[in-house]
A and B are shown apart, each in its own frame.
Chain A
């Protein structure tokens, strides 16, 4: 496979474009995704290639966008909808939770909802309290939804292919600050199975489970920790539903220590779920220190850039947590 370095944003666009060339049932809909290219420019150039029938600008109504996607999916289409900011998922909540997630089950499998909801999440852009949240735990709580959080361009392309192939609704969280990061991505289409975690860095002293942008912060922390003689293993679950419990359990059995890091508010965050999985698993007997969760502070994301940074875990926080856990 030929690879080249492209950005996360380009990887998402490429996955959609390749799929749309192959499968004419796939189309995208959302606010300003046409000529404007979407809030972050992900769909830029797509309307020129695929035309306004398959790259559909919508009114500013997330409920309507989601409802249209659910309806078209039920009729056999494979829609990809884009919500400009994942905060607005609240407006689409009924369509997602009560329709998309339930329909296949309630019709005994006779109908299916093969749709992908793509949406940028996270803070760091100065977009303040209503445009910076990480609400993935809400989605993860609903049976019938799959929840994906890619952290690299490579993962984004492969996971989006898997999401588009899936016959169930998939919530695909793209992190705003990751759009401009790049990695080697194959030109051809490929698929990364949902529910397979990726060990981003192998280590022996502590397991750091990190999601989305925190994967990069964890890797940075691991780099620093290595100089202090601490070998950290960084696991990116990539999809929080389904969650690759096995990989995390095996890692904790190996290291005996666990740090979970996510940007979302710690209280009620997916970190608690991951910790719970470990506490219930055979890895419990291998735990050699209390588990530490790092998550966002219990505050709305502030507009002030310094406070915005302080509201979520940063590299020094991860280093400190590891050092508290690993005594070397």
Chain B
């Protein structure tokens, strides 16, 4: 048997390099199919990659924070005594482009079903024996011995306590352990009350109130945002158009739709959901906005895919609602809620994050009137949305109280000019002020 290559997967058409965030295995560890093997950061997401071969991890050619071109061989899995090259032999010979298989295997959801490595758990032989006899995962046990060593008594205490009834995914266990979170304080939101990764991530934030000054390395996602924003600002001539939209009718529309959609989906429709639909409609009427730039070519897109910026811990991520123009509001509500949830739990897949042709960034939940958004390349425009505020407005010669909302459209002046951009924004204003147009 030949040792099998481990290579940097290509997870999207635009991915050319991936950054290795961490290995979950050490050289010499045995690896099962489906076990998380390493974690990478692409230009869009962080993702755990699972092993698709079983055997011994023979070699790791790259370490944390290394940027590795896609398909570059980063290690080998094989039999214990197999010989592998001392340095990476370069690109994997096999065809791996856009390999669906790997993308599917990298779903964090799947990763949670396999066991995390136990090699690093400090436990006495007696503790290991008892864990094995009781089919317990040692990584969830708090060791009370020297250096946190797990001893027999810790296992017995655990078995005698109610802790055994705590259902937790292995991934969540690992995080809880790393962050020294007491899992008994957590409430599980997964199926049957299982504690999942997202139940754990907010925990440290709550407990840490004192902030001390410190210098730390940017997280992976921070680096990505930093790079992409700088690139956009430095390379794209931004022009921002602003307009104030009377949202009184939309407010009413939303009020009347709330119970209907809640009945259908159990979810509440938001202004953002309505904006997605409205922008989708406006863009089908103005296809010159639904383009992107690649070098000196302009790509016209056939479907309108709207990205919605979602704030997450230490960053911002833009999941995509595909074909927004042709989706009903209930469908949009369902999808955006689902994507938001996945985003906050860091479970978005490559598919959820690619293919947007326009982005909406809504800061209306804050006391923000208006702002100038930065374009999310390779898109050519982005809509910044401010808060809805009741204001005195002149309507037909008299002053009325209306619900007003400022929007800002930043566009790439390389791709389009002021007039078509203004026409698009006017169209959007028209739709939002006369929401029956959404029916058309």
A: residues with CB less than 8 A from B are: 256, 284-289, 327
How many whole Å from A131's CB to the nearest CB in chain B? 40
Q: How far is the CA of A139 from the CA of B128 in the complex (A)?
A: 37
Apart from A284-B125, A327-B153, what are 20 other A-B pairs with CB-CB below 8 Å? Answer: A256-B126, A256-B152, A285-B125, A285-B126, A286-B125, A286-B126, A287-B124, A287-B125, A287-B126, A288-B125, A288-B127, A288-B151, A288-B152, A288-B153, A289-B124, A289-B145, A289-B151, A327-B144, A327-B145, A327-B151
Q: How many residues of B contact A (CB 8 A)?
A: 11
Q: How far is the CA of A288 from the CA of B129 in the complex (A)?
A: 10
Residue of B nearest to A286 (CB): B126
Among B124, B127, B153, max chain A CB count under 10 A is at B124
Contact B145 A285 (CB under 8 A): no
Residue of B nearest to A283 (CB): B125
Q: How far is the CA of A327 from the CA of B148 in the complex (A)?
A: 13
Query: Can you offer 23 A-B residue contacts whose CB atoms are under 8 A?
Result: A256-B124, A256-B126, A256-B152, A284-B125, A285-B125, A285-B126, A285-B128, A285-B129, A286-B126, A286-B129, A287-B124, A287-B125, A287-B126, A288-B124, A288-B125, A288-B126, A288-B127, A288-B152, A288-B153, A289-B145, A289-B151, A327-B145, A327-B153
- Chain B positions 89-145 with a Cβ under 8 Å from a chain A Cβ: 124-129, 144-145
B: residues with CB less than 8 A from A are: 124-129, 144-145, 151-153
A residues less than 8 Å from B126 (CB atoms)? 256, 285-288
A residues less than 8 Å from B145 (CB atoms)? 289, 327
Q: How far is the CA of A256 from the CA of B128 in the complex (A)?
A: 13
A residues less than 8 Å from B124 (CB atoms)? 256, 287-289
Among B126, B129, B144, max chain A CB count under 10 A is at B126
Q: How far is the CA of A256 from the CA of B145 in the complex (A)?
A: 14
Q: How far is the CA of A56 from the CA of B126 in the complex (A)?
A: 56
B residues less than 8 Å from A287 (CB atoms)? 124-126
How many whole Å from B122's CB to the nearest CB in chain A? 11
How many residue pairs link A and B with beta carbons under 8 A? The number is: 28
B residues less than 8 Å from A285 (CB atoms)? 125-126, 128-129
Q: How far is the CA of A139 from the CA of B417 in the complex (A)?
A: 97
B residues less than 8 Å from A286 (CB atoms)? 125-126, 129
A residues less than 8 Å from B152 (CB atoms)? 256, 288
Residue of B nearest to A328 (CB): B153
B residues less than 8 Å from A327 (CB atoms)? 144-145, 151, 153
B residues less than 8 Å from A284 (CB atoms)? 125
How many whole Å from A174's CB to the nearest CB in chain B? 38
Residue of A nearest to B129 (CB): A285
Q: How far is the CA of A286 from the CA of B124 in the complex (A)?
A: 8
Q: How far is the CA of A155 from the CA of B254 in the complex (A)?
A: 96
B residues less than 8 Å from A289 (CB atoms)? 124, 145, 151
Residue of A nearest to B133 (CB): A285
Q: How far is the CA of A14 from the CA of B321 in the complex (A)?
A: 99
B residues less than 8 Å from A256 (CB atoms)? 124, 126, 152
How many whole Å from B368's CB to the nearest CB in chain A? 57
Shortest 9 CB-CB contacts between residues of A and residues of B: A288-B126, A285-B129, A288-B152, A288-B124, A287-B125, A256-B126, A285-B125, A288-B151, A286-B126
Q: How far is the CA of A287 from the CA of B127 in the complex (A)?
A: 8
How many whole Å from B262's CB to the nearest CB in chain A? 56
Residue of B nearest to A256 (CB): B126
How many whole Å from B303's CB to the nearest CB in chain A? 61
Residue of B nearest to A279 (CB): B125
B residues less than 8 Å from A288 (CB atoms)? 124-127, 151-153
Q: How far is the CA of A256 from the CA of B154 in the complex (A)?
A: 14
Residue of B nearest to A288 (CB): B126
Q: How far is the CA of A281 from the CA of B152 in the complex (A)?
A: 18
How many whole Å from A322's CB to the nearest CB in chain B? 14
How many whole Å from B325's CB to the nearest CB in chain A? 65
Q: How far is the CA of A198 from the CA of B225 in the complex (A)?
A: 72
Residue of A nearest to B123 (CB): A288
Q: How far is the CA of A285 from the CA of B151 in the complex (A)?
A: 12
Q: How far is the CA of A327 from the CA of B151 in the complex (A)?
A: 10
How many whole Å from A251's CB to the nearest CB in chain B? 14
How many whole Å from A229's CB to the nearest CB in chain B? 14
Residue of B nearest to A324 (CB): B146
Q: How far is the CA of A198 from the CA of B311 in the complex (A)?
A: 71
How many whole Å from A214's CB to the nearest CB in chain B? 25
Q: How far is the CA of A286 from the CA of B152 in the complex (A)?
A: 9
A residues less than 8 Å from B128 (CB atoms)? 285
How many whole Å from A240's CB to the nearest CB in chain B? 25
How many whole Å from B436's CB to the nearest CB in chain A? 75
How many whole Å from B15's CB to the nearest CB in chain A? 47
Q: How far is the CA of A327 from the CA of B125 in the complex (A)?
A: 16
How many whole Å from B240's CB to the nearest CB in chain A? 66
Residue of B nearest to A284 (CB): B125
A residues less than 8 Å from B144 (CB atoms)? 327
Residue of A nearest to B149 (CB): A289
Among A284, A286, A288, max chain B CB count under 10 A is at A288
Q: How far is the CA of A303 from the CA of B145 in the complex (A)?
A: 40
How many whole Å from A290's CB to the nearest CB in chain B? 8
How many whole Å from B171's CB to the nearest CB in chain A? 29
How many whole Å from B319's CB to the nearest CB in chain A? 49
How many whole Å from A282's CB to the nearest CB in chain B? 10
A residues less than 8 Å from B127 (CB atoms)? 288
